Amino acid sequence: MGWKINGYLTVEIGSKMVYNWCLNKDMKP
């Protein structure tokens, strides 16, 4: 049970980091 919550949080944070990284990449020339 604990690892499921841990994995979910990891995916949530990871997807946010990737999303922000893509936004930053698009803003730069």
Mean pLDDT for the stretch of residues 5-24: 95
Q: Which long-range contacts (CB under 8 A, 24 or more apart) does 4-12 make?
A: none
Domain region containing 13: 1-29
pLDDT band at 19 (very low <50, low <70, confident <90, very high): very high
Q: Which pLDDT does position 28 carry in this prediction?
A: 72
Say how far apart CA 16 and CA 29 lie, in whole Å.
Answer: 22
pLDDT band at 3 (very low <50, low <70, confident <90, very high): confident
pLDDT band at 10 (very low <50, low <70, confident <90, very high): very high
Number of domains in the chain: 1
pTM (two decimals): 0.55
Bigger pLDDT: 8 vs 28: 8
